[in-house]
């Protein structure tokens, strides 16, 4: 028990030091990532003002202009938790070039190692990105109606932490498919495309009409961007909030088991190509 | 001049041969670039599900805006097909010292490094742009007149020239910076502003922003001028509209001359990295 904790701490510490090397690039990159929001602010103002001029009201499915901009800002936070750049591709690459065998011969669990590596990555990211995030949110504070009450805030925080775990296990499962497919880049591209559109990164998914709206609420992608943001804005309350949190948790368990099974059966299928 | 054209045709043929050697990769590139466009098109279709136009009384209704989008597609796809890969590789040429070989060739260096490799798969979006343009015109029951047929291609070429100038000037800075990995990022963030009609940039923040990106760094001119000529040749919305077509010609000449100057200065500062 103590030995495994020491191992975990060592992995975390090494990963933290590795990530801190590029802190300047991180901070600047984070600030730059907010730039597209500037065009979104103008675009949605143009959309809402045209609706108003046509007598169609000032809201889209309950979202006012301010709500939409606040939503975009909040999804930046959701994505900061749930996005896992290079995770699935990295796993598939390790499988393809044979590097994965180090997890088979060393007493280290691959998923555990990768999870700790991601935790370190995210911890450094939040530390360095805190300043640009605070700056942008302070400048844009007018788009928010104020802080939500404590239970809502706690639900939002729980949902954010779960979105990190869901993002990790979902992408890890996709990467593990490399045991059977070897090349997963095309698959990952399709996933990225679907995720961009259906996670709510591009727009609040309540806006999707008809059958699309129903489908998108059944798949786990919404928990990667939309759900935490909508909770913060008070768009999901009461029983719907509890059901949402429970469903998000269930999806984490699902992908946790799926990635474990994929690793278990994948390593039996694995042929150890490469040197 | 004729020789340059023949050299360009050789570049184009070589690039096509190269692309056709890896046909599966070519098809994947083609699908991925068009898929992004289709996702964006879905997003705009969704916006027009709620609003009649982008901007109150701006004239950018659904199919007028799609004409704007198709213009942006034509310009962007040509810039990507002709220059993007070359601009990206320029920093590598500088870093590794391979630019020496380009300097030794009996042809203008800027011409050589700007056009040596063409990305044929980017032309998928050109075809998509033409299709979207045809569809939008059909929906609007609109046939362009002689003025549009003459001026539209002219201003599309001007737009390409402005984008090219910006891109090659950015790429040339790698001579001073050593590396220029962030070129694509810069490119994405700057051109992000030109993705929408310039009328959306209004108000106390938008108007200065519009002026800067029209007159100082003329990226807003690139798509707006040809699109306006196509959509509403005699119905100006902003005070600038009256002289924008004239200004666009000036901006094109100034951008080309400016980027030529930057490129020559960069070559002057080039110290070969090879032994």
Prediction ipTM score: 0.87
* Segment B117-141, tens digit of pLDDT: 888 988 999 999 999 999 999 998 8
Q: Is the pLDDT of residue A24 over 80?
A: no
Whether B145 has its CB under 8 Å from any CB of chain A: the answer is no
| Helix, strand and coil percent figures for chain A, each rounded to 5 | 80, 0, 20
* Coil, helix or strand at residue A64: strand
- pLDDT band at residue A19 using 50, 70 and 90 as cut-offs: low
CB-count exposure of residue B80 (10 Å: 0-12, 13-18, 19+): buried
A105 touches chain B (CB under 8 A): no
Q: What residues contact residue A12 under an 8 Å CB cut-off, 6+ apart? A: A116, A119, A120
Percent with pLDDT over 90 in chain B = 42
Cβ atoms A117, A11 nearer than 8 A? yes
Confidence of residue A225 (pLDDT cuts 50, 70, 90): very high
Domain boundaries, chain B: 2-269
Q: Quick check: B106 pLDDT over 80?
A: yes
> Which of the 8 DSSP states describes residue A184?
-
pLDDT, position B178: 64
Look at residue B95 in the predicted model and tell me its pLDDT: 81
What pLDDT shows up at residue A120?
A: 86
Residue range A15-39: average pLDDT? 73
Query: CA-to-CA distance for B244 and B232, rounded, in angstroms?
Result: 13
**Higher per-residue confidence, A258 vs B88:** A258
The Cα–Cα gap between A38 and A35 comes to 6
Comparing CA positions, the residue from A95, A212, A214, A225 lying closest to residue A170 is A225
- Distance of alpha carbon B264 from the chain centroid: 22
The predicted structure's pLDDT at residue B10: 92
| pLDDT at residue A274, rounded to an integer | 55
Across chain B, what does the average pLDDT equal? 87
The pLDDT of residue B274 is: 59
Who has greater pLDDT, B158 or A95?
Answer: B158
User: Does pLDDT of B68 surpass 60?
Assistant: yes
The distance of B181 to chain A (nearest Cα, Å) reads 11
* Separation between Cα atoms, residue A248 and residue A121, nearest integer Å: 23
3-state helix, strand, coil in chain B (%, to 5): 80, 0, 20
Smallest CA–CA distance from A39 into chain B, residue: B193
User: Rounded mean pLDDT of chain A?
Assistant: 87
Does the predicted TM-score (pTM) go above 0.95?
Answer: no
Per-residue model confidence (pLDDT) at position B182? 65
Whether residue B52 and residue A46 make contact (CB cut-off 8 A), yes or no, is no
Considering only CA atoms, which of A79, A73, A78, A75 is closest in space to residue A38? A73
- Contact between chains at B43 and A203 (C-beta distance less than 8 A): yes
Q: A208 to chain B nearest CA, in Å?
A: 7
Mind listing the pLDDT tens digit for each residue in B230-268? 887 555 566 666 788 889 999 999 999 999 999 999 988
CA angle at B186 for the pair B58 and A131, rounded to the nearest 5°: 95
Q: Which residues of A touch B36 (CB under 8 A)?
A: 193
> For residue B49, which of A206, A45, A42, A194 has the smallest C-alpha distance?
A206
Burial class from Cβ neighbours inside 10 Å (0-12, 13-18, 19+) for residue A212 reads middle
In this prediction, residue B26 carries a pLDDT of: 86
* Interface with chain A: mutation pick from B25, B46, B180, highest number of A CBs within 10 Å: B46
């Amino acid at each position: 028990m103590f030995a495994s904790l020491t191992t975990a701490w060592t992995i975390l510490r090494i990963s933290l030091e590795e990530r801190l090397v590029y802190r300047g690039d991180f901070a600047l990159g984070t600030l730059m990532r907010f730039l597209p929001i500037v065009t979104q602010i103008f675009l949605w103002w143009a959309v809402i003002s045209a609706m108003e001029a046509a007598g169609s009201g000032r809201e889209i499915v309950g979202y006012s202009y301010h709500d939409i901009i606040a939503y975009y800002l909040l999804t930046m936070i959701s994505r900061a938790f749930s996005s896992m750049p290079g995770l699935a591709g990295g796993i598939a690459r390790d499988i393809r070039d044979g590097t994965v065998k180090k997890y088979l011969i060393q007493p280290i669990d691959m998923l555990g190692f990768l999870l700790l590596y991601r935790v370190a990555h995210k911890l450094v990211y939040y530390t360095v990105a805190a300043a640009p995030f605070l700056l942008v949110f302070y400048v844009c504070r007018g788009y928010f109606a104020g802080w939500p009450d404590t239970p809502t805030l706690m639900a939002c925080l729980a949902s954010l932490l779960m979105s990190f775990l869901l993002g990790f296990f979902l992408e890890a499962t996709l990467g593990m498919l490399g045991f059977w497919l070897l090349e997963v880049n095309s698959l990952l591209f399709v996933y990225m495309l679907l995720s961009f559109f259906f996670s709510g990164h591009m727009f609040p998914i309540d806006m999707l009409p008809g059958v699309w709206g129903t489908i998108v609420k059944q798949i786990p992608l919404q928990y990667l961007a939309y759900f935490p943001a909508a909770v913060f804005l008070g768009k999901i309350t009461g029983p719907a909030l509890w059901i949402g949190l429970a469903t998000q948790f269930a999806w984490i368990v699902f992908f946790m088991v799926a990635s474990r099974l994929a690793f278990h059966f994948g390593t039996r299928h694995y042929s150890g190509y490469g040197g | 001049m004729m020789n340059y054209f023949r050299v360009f045709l050789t570049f184009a043929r070589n690039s096509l041969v190269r692309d056709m050697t890896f046909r599966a990769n070519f098809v994947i590139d083609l699908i991925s670039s068009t898929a992004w466009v289709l996702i964006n098109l879905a997003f705009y279709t969704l916006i027009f599900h709620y609003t009649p136009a982008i901007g109150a009384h701006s004239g950018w209704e659904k199919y007028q805006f799609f004409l704007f989008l198709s213009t942006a597609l034509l310009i962007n796809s040509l810039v990507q097909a002709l220059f993007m890969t070359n601009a990206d590789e320029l920093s590598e040429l500088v870093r590794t010292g391979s630019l020496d070989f380009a300097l030794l060739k009996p042809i203008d260096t800027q011409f050589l490094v700007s056009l040596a490799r063409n990305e044929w798969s980017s032309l998928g979006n050109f075809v998509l742009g033409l299709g979207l343009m045809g569809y939008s015109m059909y929906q609007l029951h609109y046939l362009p007149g002689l003025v549009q047929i003459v001026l539209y291609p002219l201003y599309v070429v001007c737009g390409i020239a402005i984008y090219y100038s910006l891109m090659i000037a950015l790429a040339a800075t790698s001579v001073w910076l050593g590396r220029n990995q962030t070129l694509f990022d810069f490119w994405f963030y700057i051109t992000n502003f030109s993705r929408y009609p310039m009328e959306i940039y209004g108000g106390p923040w938008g108007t200065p922003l519009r002026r800067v990106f029209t007159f100082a760094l003329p990226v807003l001119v690139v798509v707006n001028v040809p699109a306006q000529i196509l959509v509403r040749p005699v119905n100006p919305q902003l005070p600038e509209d009256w002289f924008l077509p004239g200004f666009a010609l000036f901006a094109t000449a100034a951008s080309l001359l400016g980027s030529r100057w930057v490129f020559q200065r960069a070559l002057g500062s080039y110290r070969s990295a090879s032994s």
